[in-house]
Structure 1
Amino acid sequence: MIGKVVVSGISILLVVGIAIGVIAAVHNKGGKEENLTAQAKAVRAICEPTTYKDVCTNSLQNATSTEPKELIKTIAMVTKQALIQAHKFTEDELVKNHAEDVKKKELEYCKKMLNFSLEDIQEFVDEFDSSDFKNLSDKFDDIWQLMTNVWVYQESCLEEIMEEDLKKSIEDGTSDAKKMTSNTLDIVADLNKILSSFGLNFNLTTNLSDHPPSRRLLDVGEPNEFPRWVSAGDRRLLAGRGGIRPDAVVAQDGSGQFRTIKAALAAYNPPKNVKTRKRYIVYIKAGVYRESVTIEKNQYNVFFYGDGAGKTIVTNNKHVFGTNLRTSETGTVTVYGRGFLAKHMSFENTAGPSGHQAVALLIQADLAVVYDCRIDGYQDTLYYNSGRQFFRNCIISGTVDFIFGMGAAVIQNSLIIVRRGNDGQKNTVTADGNSKGKNAHIGLIIQNCKIVPELRLARDAKMKSYLGRPWKQYATTIVRETELGGFIDPEGWMPWQGSSYENTCFYAEYNNRGPAARTNLRVRWKGFKVITNPVEARLYSVGPWIQGYRWLRGTRVPFNL
């Protein structure tokens, strides 16, 4: 039944062997490159880097252009159509399972994630279509991130489905959208080589391991080392220079416009044109706000600032264990809107170690900055689930996988506190969820931080703690120039139970310090590396990782530029 639904919806993806049949025919006649038609050569060049080549060629079966831009646009449009059909399939499953509360919630979340995918693939098409390759360089990081987001949203959908039969059904019913998304992402990531095969040579930054940083990240003279995508005005807000005029004031004592953060957000109705949206500044006065807050995807450029971490506190205790909640539903603060900023406040989840997954801050949005904040919890405290995210001068605490996600995140100059969990637990600071590999913009960098135990853990020599474990097949985490407390197990990293990701992950350490910084007893995984070359290490910093730019000379971060 599932197969019939998908075939009828997007047969364009499944007519194997029809598209570009001339390629096979020509190869049967001798296979000489010069005998290929211009059309066949163009399609082969576009599809060469893709994971699902037959799906790629089939998606171009009706294309007549030999121009790379038109062919790539066609691929993207077919991807969009596949996502529309995946969304319809999920809706149909929702109708069938509407009486079952747990399945209904899971499918509603899937539907939401597929909506996000559709929004981002359309934005990708619009951005790609409005540029020629000569000026695409300035937009390249953004379109690569958009396609990564489309991938992550689909992964997030599947991650929240617990019932095996339903999960298998959704996997099957949305598999063509997943394959097309994978192919489009492969094409974007390898765009330099593709264009070169067409005789077009542009210096687009596509693969961080192949292309050194080529553009600036920072403006001259900025002392706070924010990424360039943080505007000058936002840097002033975050650095505290100049008067901040809030659009909304939240105060429990009634001295503001609103008594709850939810009410302040409900009053924010941004215009539809994304490019004209201004920042929405919410000043949250000192107090303990027992709320579960969501910044929706259409609520761009929200800025929360408080009276100080530990003074302005947003708190909740939602958790997975013993409830019908999924991890994505437990966030004290959940951010879907692009351009989120936060300063001088605390986000916490007080469910405790017995609550299992219990998120304090979930950011599923691009271009987010969290500065001078506390993020406290136990398991799954900080969920960096998509987009480019930058955390600086923060305190982050937890037990199991407490910094985890599928975004591209950098945590810099921060204090990471490992807490004592329940007896028998093992602590893991990180759990990255890169399921796609180097072509996706996913991974975590911890730079110039301190990783220390809380006092209760420091007194318990039996409880083991590790830097992380690979949540997904291509988990990517780099810990560099960071002080590692002696409580970290000498092996450093531990495997994900029941997996064999040790050979495919990318875990690296560079120039760390402290009692646990010695790497001679680290795990002997194919996927683990000790970086010794500062030129290589430079690739794993704020510059190339979350924007593709360089650091400015004079940064306070101690690494060799």
Structure 2
Amino acid sequence: MVGKIAISVVSVLLVVGIIVGVVVMVNSNGDSDSKQPHRMPSMKMVTSICELTNYKQACAGSLESVAKNDTASANDYILAVVVATLNEVKKSSEATSKVVVDKAIDELNHVAIQDCKDFFDYAVDKLEDSISLVSGSNMQNLEERAHELLSWMTAVYAFHTTCLDQIQNPDYKSAIQNGTLNSTQLSHNAVNIVAELPQILKLFNYHPTLEQNITAEAVASAATSHHHRRRLMSDGYPTWFGPAERKLLARPRAIVPNAVVAKDGSGRFKSISAAIAACPDNNKGRFIIYVKAGIYQEQVIIKKKKTNIFIYGDGIGRTIVTGRRNFGIMKIGTMHTATFANEAAGFIARGITFSNEAGPQGHQAVAFRSVGDKAAMFDCSFEGHQDTLYYQFLRQFYRNCRIYGTIDFIFGKGDAVIQDSEIVVRRPLPKQFNTVTADGREIPRGSNGLVIHNCRIIPDKFLYPIRFQVPTYLGRPWTREALTVVMQSELGDFIRPEGWKLWDGSQNHRSCEMYEFGNRGPGARTDRRNKEFARFKVIGPNQAAKYTPGLFLAAGQWLPQTGVPFRLGF
């Protein structure tokens, strides 16, 4: 990850120089003195916006053109930020294409470089989506969709860092790092700017109405007054589902799928991958795949153009997708070990077991990986050991699921909420420990992080007899700015009193954010939590409300006015 740097006095002077140069350039165009007052807001606007960023010189440069326009709107400034980032990402993609690794000699790094190219393609897609969003919005719409824009910008930055994380050869890594420096800085800036979008809009004298300004306090208050419904959303589905999706999930037997998969040949397809291939690219409607009971030994990858797939099976333990790909034995990169990978927006799954059977000796061995935005998984089981569930990027919701593993088995850089689920800790190899989570948030103002809400964390039957002999923690910080929230959950007696484990060889515990709220059970006592975690807190209801789906995933803004009741808070 490209580290944060302190801005030196020299850098600040350079920024001021750029801004002054912009103003002088405008003056030299022959404008009369009577227009001087109208130019000052532009200069102040650039200063105010760039003050939010870590890379101020890059920020000022990205806003240079719009600063010349005295009538520029808030949308113009945000658009300039996104366009500048897009232009640099395209250059980064070109630079990455020039790094060639012989697959026959070094397959691991060859694949990693190819992944970088794919990540920059994803980044271009999200930036182009962002341009469309900003261009087609007035200030009210822009404010209402600020969280969505922030999630996309956060992912764009994470694409950069994940690219570098996967490259092991220092020469290749250095070449990619140098070629992507500008886009890394601009995408980092974009996250910080979009995160403060409501404040930026106020600079243009736009103030949201009371109805639009949903606060954590309001959510917490509403949740408290409706405590009798606090464990369940009214119908158990994520708040962005419309009536059609709810009907599909409520009565899957009553629908006619677009594709049926069956091992015995009773369906149109015998493999899940073949059924997915039948989905039209950039599908606007819902493509429904029914996978009959059976064990499907295949690696399934839903590519990004296969949008809006709903896949359902005959239930946990009946419809099983399984594989054995792993890093420990096979030396396959972590993301490519996934038995099932979703890279498309709008993915929904229900009633399926996703498994990686590599065992603890396989080390990193992913059962399920998700990149696509607005992914929702219900009544599913994710079974593995190390690195079972990879919430890699963007918004994800898990409900009424089971998740099994040992080390860092729920990890990623996305925006994930796991609600009303069972988290089952397994027995690791001798002398190993267990860590339930490993979040990878990288920018404090970013949208990402992991929330475990109203779940049960328990040992499986093989760990149970020796559960006090194997150190088991709620998690550890993968990155310096990791964010993990465990709230209103039942914690078994095998959770270590210190709760959170240091990431060996790092200082991540000094700056990460690990929060707990309203947990229960013998493992929920917090008086002996690890004091080395400088920012660990037992938070109250107002702060905890920020991590409910209504605010953390902005779910309430995605729900159309269908009349279907739902719960934003606890």
Contact 2:240 2:556 in 1 (8 A): no
Aligned to 2:274: 263
Contact 1:507 1:529 in 2 (8 A): yes
Cα offset, 1:372, TM superposition: 0.6
- Which secondary structure state, in structure 2, belongs to the residue aligned with residue 324 of structure 1? coil
Contact 1:386 1:405 in 2 (8 A): yes
CA distance in 1, matches of 2:136, 2:565: 36
2:157 to 151, 155, 161: 151
Contact 1:145 1:387 in 2 (8 A): yes
Contact 2:339 2:368 in 1 (8 A): yes
Aligned to 2:29: none
Aligned to 2:69: 65
Aligned to 2:424: 417
Aligned to 2:496: 489
**For residues 188 and 449 of structure 1, do their structure 2 counterparts lie closer, same or farther at Cα, with a shift above 3 Å needed?**
same
Contact 2:548 2:569 in 1 (8 A): no
Contact 1:17 1:58 in 2 (8 A): no
**For residues 458 and 208 of structure 1, do their structure 2 counterparts lie closer, same or farther at Cα, with a shift above 3 Å needed?**
farther
Q: Deviations over 1:261-318 (max 9, x none)?
A: 0111111123x4x6xx011111000000000000011111111100110000000000
Does residue 530 (structure 1) correspond to residue 529 (structure 2)? The answer is: no
CA distance in 1, matches of 2:152, 2:297: 33
CA distance in 1, matches of 2:221, 2:125: 29
CA distance in 2, matches of 1:210, 1:410: 17
Contact 1:392 1:413 in 2 (8 A): yes
Match of 2:46, as an amino acid? V
CA distance in 1, matches of 2:187, 2:268: 44
CA distance in 1, matches of 2:565, 2:323: 37
Match of 1:333, as an amino acid? F
Cα offset, 1:215, TM superposition: 13
Richer in helix (by share): 2
Aligned to 1:236: 247
Q: Which runs of 5+ in 2 are unaligned?
A: 1-13, 26-35, 227-231
Aligned to 1:187: 193
- Which secondary structure state, in structure 2, belongs to the residue aligned with residue 182 of structure 1? helix
- Which secondary structure state, in structure 2, belongs to the residue aligned with residue 281 of structure 1? strand
Does residue 177 (structure 1) correspond to residue 183 (structure 2)? The answer is: yes
CA distance in 2, matches of 1:132, 1:555: 29
Aligned to 1:29: none
CA distance in 1, matches of 2:317, 2:404: 14
Output the aligned Cα RMSD.
3.1
Does residue 306 (structure 1) correspond to residue 332 (structure 2)? The answer is: no
CA distance in 1, matches of 2:136, 2:212: 19
Match of 2:389, as an amino acid? L
**For residues 71 and 409 of structure 1, do their structure 2 counterparts lie closer, same or farther at Cα, with a shift above 3 Å needed?**
same
Aligned to 1:4: none
Aligned to 2:30: none
CA distance in 2, matches of 1:367, 1:205: 24
**For residues 296 and 214 of structure 1, do their structure 2 counterparts lie closer, same or farther at Cα, with a shift above 3 Å needed?**
farther
**For residues 420 and 78 of structure 1, do their structure 2 counterparts lie closer, same or farther at Cα, with a shift above 3 Å needed?**
same
Give the alignment's TM-score, normalised by structure 2.
0.87
CA distance in 1, matches of 2:455, 2:411: 17
Match of 2:69, as an amino acid? S
1:342 to 349, 356, 367: 349
Match of 1:39, as an amino acid? S
Aligned to 1:20: 19
Cα offset, 1:255, TM superposition: 0.2
CA distance in 2, matches of 1:121, 1:236: 33
Contact 1:215 1:550 in 2 (8 A): no
Cα offset, 1:384, TM superposition: 0.5
CA distance in 2, matches of 1:232, 1:336: 24
- Which secondary structure state, in structure 1, belongs to the residue aligned with residue 98 of structure 2? helix
- Which secondary structure state, in structure 1, belongs to the residue aligned with residue 18 of structure 2? coil
Match of 1:395, as an amino acid? R
Taking every aligned residue pair, what percent have the same amino acid on both sides? 37
CA distance in 2, matches of 1:398, 1:140: 35
- Which secondary structure state, in structure 1, belongs to the residue aligned with residue 200 of structure 2? helix
**For residues 36 and 140 of structure 1, do their structure 2 counterparts lie closer, same or farther at Cα, with a shift above 3 Å needed?**
closer
CA distance in 2, matches of 1:121, 1:211: 32
Match of 1:285, as an amino acid? K
- Which secondary structure state, in structure 1, belongs to the residue aligned with residue 330 of structure 2? coil
Cα offset, 1:161, TM superposition: 1.2
Match of 2:536, as an amino acid? F
Aligned to 1:504: 511
Contact 1:236 1:242 in 2 (8 A): no
Contact 1:133 1:202 in 2 (8 A): no
Cα offset, 1:394, TM superposition: 0.8
2:148 to 142, 147, 155: 142
- Which secondary structure state, in structure 2, belongs to the residue aligned with residue 459 of structure 1? helix
**For residues 19 and 211 of structure 1, do their structure 2 counterparts lie closer, same or farther at Cα, with a shift above 3 Å needed?**
farther
**For residues 498 and 95 of structure 1, do their structure 2 counterparts lie closer, same or farther at Cα, with a shift above 3 Å needed?**
closer
Aligned to 1:253: 264
Aligned to 2:300: 293
Cα offset, 1:187, TM superposition: 1.1
Cα offset, 1:526, TM superposition: 1.5
CA distance in 2, matches of 1:306, 1:104: 36
Aligned to 2:366: 359
Contact 1:360 1:381 in 2 (8 A): yes
Q: Which moved more, 1:129-138 or 1:90-99?
A: 90-99
Cα offset, 1:447, TM superposition: 1.1
Cα offset, 1:345, TM superposition: 1.1
